[in-house]
Structure 1
């Protein structure tokens, strides 16, 4: 098959500093950045998804940002296809693809030989589970998934109704859990990958998450969500995102503004914890602690690791 294409992957929990690091690293290795975040694909959802700003990009090309309307679905299989095409194109230009983001399953699906065939697709079963969700509520259906496949349940948020249904559909139509199905996939890496994991002590990370949420509110998160709310955008994949569903509850009059913001902070902290668990269990990551790091020193250290692993030259 010839030489494998080189790919740098920067992962880590929300608010750990992936955006800044990926841009600075890209400047050093002549890299271009692919967003590995399943929510930054949506237009009109900038603040709540902590999307990289034009200034922050510093002229480094970024891909898979703002490619879908908030009402459109986007699957892991589409992501896999899009990113593999981008890796090909960026490599052909003589640049290094850098995937930066926090959605573990999405990133894994690109790097390994994951087949997203129609395995376990059964419309009759899916409709039955959908009906069950309507009648009993997602909580009960999620509990069923937790009993059958605790590992998948740990990695799927209860509000991600589509994925909860999909995991149960796979089980009831094949007799194999989603976890067993994924483990039976070919675990061979398709690329020459340098995994860079950013981490931070929990206290510091949680403080940063809380601070980031306060900043989002200051920058107009509520106004951003209200626009979507006023358009009547509701039962979509995009609105299940942390940062949107909590504020929707406020506009629905179910909670106060303060409760909504507190819920957003708590859900973001829990999500960060789930992200770290996923990355530690599923990927062969070299971790760099950003807690009290001098940024330039850390950047040098990460650059040395990546350059050594992938045999890269520094950019001029």
Structure 2
């Protein structure tokens, strides 16, 4: 039987320090990094997605960044296919594949044998829902989802019509919520996986998130989002990203710039909290508590390296 490919996964809330640590680990373990962030695939969405810069990469190869235009849809199934291909490519080069960042569902879709098939599919029902969205609006569909699957409704934005319809379709075809349907599709891990999570004291983390938003504004986030707005991009998946939808409200005249910035900070903090809760409840993650003081993280790096060596049975570069 062919041995499983080794895979290192590094997850954690925004602003916790994943990017810097991932570069250190890639150097230490001869790794190549696959972005697990479904929004970093989009070209021209750099500041709001906290996309790593060429300088920050320090010559470590990065994959699945800038591979789609902002108007393009991108599904979990596509992500699954692309990432699995990259894992095999990187392994064949004698390197360690590393997934950095990403939402719970996207990471799960890689690690477990999720089948994104038409098994729970009804094209007529789907077309009927599309008609409802067109005639009565996105909120009508979202309210229907909230009635049958409140967990999915909490996770999926009303404007992400495609995912709302998919969740309703799964319930219609199987009688199960999307969460329950996916839970049944979790057999053994497909890879020899080391799943690491970074966390931080809540107050420190929230302070760092607020500061990161201020830095994004200084870097030109308003101009970046205005460029997309002026192109007429609207009602597409990319614009639902935190950092973009809030500024669209400002450009639409719904809120002041100050309110938009505060909403962005609040949504980022809430998202970080949801992600931590999701990973803690759904997956077996080895957590490491990070410090906002950089020099204190050296001891964590040593602990993390030792854990990876033991978990994946590999040696760090000396």
For residues 106-155 of structure 1, the C-alpha deviation after alignment (integer angstroms, 9 at most, x for no partner) is 11101101101013222221232233334444344323323312332343
Query: Is residue 2:243 matched to residue 1:236?
Result: no
Query: Is residue 2:149 matched to residue 1:170?
Result: no
Query: Is residue 2:161 matched to residue 1:156?
Result: no
> Could you tell me whether the CA contact under 8 Å between 2:4 and 2:190 is conserved in 1?
yes
Aligned-partner Cα distance in 2 for 1:292–1:257: 29
Aligned-partner Cα distance in 2 for 1:216–1:200: 21
Instruction: Summarize the Cα distance change of 1:166–1:237 in structure 2 as closer, same or farther, 3 Å threshold.
Output: same
**SS of aligned partner of 2:275:** helix
For residues 93-116 of structure 1, the C-alpha deviation after alignment (integer angstroms, 9 at most, x for no partner) is 110001001311111101101101
Query: Is residue 2:60 matched to residue 1:38?
Result: no
Aligned-partner Cα distance in 1 for 2:317–2:152: 41
**SS of aligned partner of 2:234:** coil
Residue 67 of structure 1 corresponds to which residue in structure 2? 67
Aligned-partner Cα distance in 1 for 2:141–2:288: 38
Displacement after TM superposition at 1:315 (Å) = 1.7
Unaligned ranges ≥5, structure 2: none
Aligned-partner Cα distance in 2 for 1:296–1:137: 51
Aligned-partner Cα distance in 1 for 2:137–2:234: 17
Residue 19 of structure 1 corresponds to which residue in structure 2? 19
**SS of aligned partner of 1:116:** coil
Instruction: Summarize the Cα distance change of 1:140–1:203 in structure 2 as closer, same or farther, 3 Å threshold.
Output: farther
Query: Is residue 2:283 matched to residue 1:264?
Result: no
> Could you tell me whether the CA contact under 8 Å between 2:35 and 2:102 is conserved in 1?
no
Residue 308 of structure 2 corresponds to which residue in structure 1? 306
For residues 14-71 of structure 1, the C-alpha deviation after alignment (integer angstroms, 9 at most, x for no partner) is 1111111111110000000000011000000000000001111011000000000001
Unaligned ranges ≥5, structure 1: none
- Comparing 67-76 with 143-152, greater Cα deviation is found at 143-152
Aligned-partner Cα distance in 2 for 1:249–1:273: 23
> Could you tell me whether the CA contact under 8 Å between 1:41 and 1:64 is conserved in 2?
yes
- Comparing 175-184 with 242-251, greater Cα deviation is found at 175-184
> Could you tell me whether the CA contact under 8 Å between 1:154 and 1:274 is conserved in 2?
no
> Could you tell me whether the CA contact under 8 Å between 2:291 and 2:297 is conserved in 1?
no
> Could you tell me whether the CA contact under 8 Å between 2:204 and 2:292 is conserved in 1?
no
> Could you tell me whether the CA contact under 8 Å between 2:79 and 2:106 is conserved in 1?
yes
- Comparing 264-273 with 291-300, greater Cα deviation is found at 291-300
Query: Is residue 2:254 matched to residue 1:254?
Result: yes
> Could you tell me whether the CA contact under 8 Å between 1:250 and 1:256 is conserved in 2?
yes
**SS of aligned partner of 1:198:** strand
Aligned-partner Cα distance in 2 for 1:239–1:153: 18
Query: Is residue 2:275 matched to residue 1:275?
Result: yes
Superposed, 1:1-316 pairs within 5 Å as 1-292=1-292, 294-316=296-318
> Could you tell me whether the CA contact under 8 Å between 1:23 and 1:57 is conserved in 2?
yes
> Could you tell me whether the CA contact under 8 Å between 1:122 and 1:169 is conserved in 2?
yes
**SS of aligned partner of 1:3:** coil
Aligned-partner Cα distance in 1 for 2:20–2:119: 39
**SS of aligned partner of 2:187:** strand
Equivalent residue pairs, number: 316
> Could you tell me whether the CA contact under 8 Å between 2:160 and 2:236 is conserved in 1?
no
Aligned-partner Cα distance in 1 for 2:142–2:223: 31
Using structure 2 for the length normalisation, give the TM-score: 0.95
Aligned-partner Cα distance in 2 for 1:300–1:37: 26
- 4+ residue segments displaced more than 4 Å: none
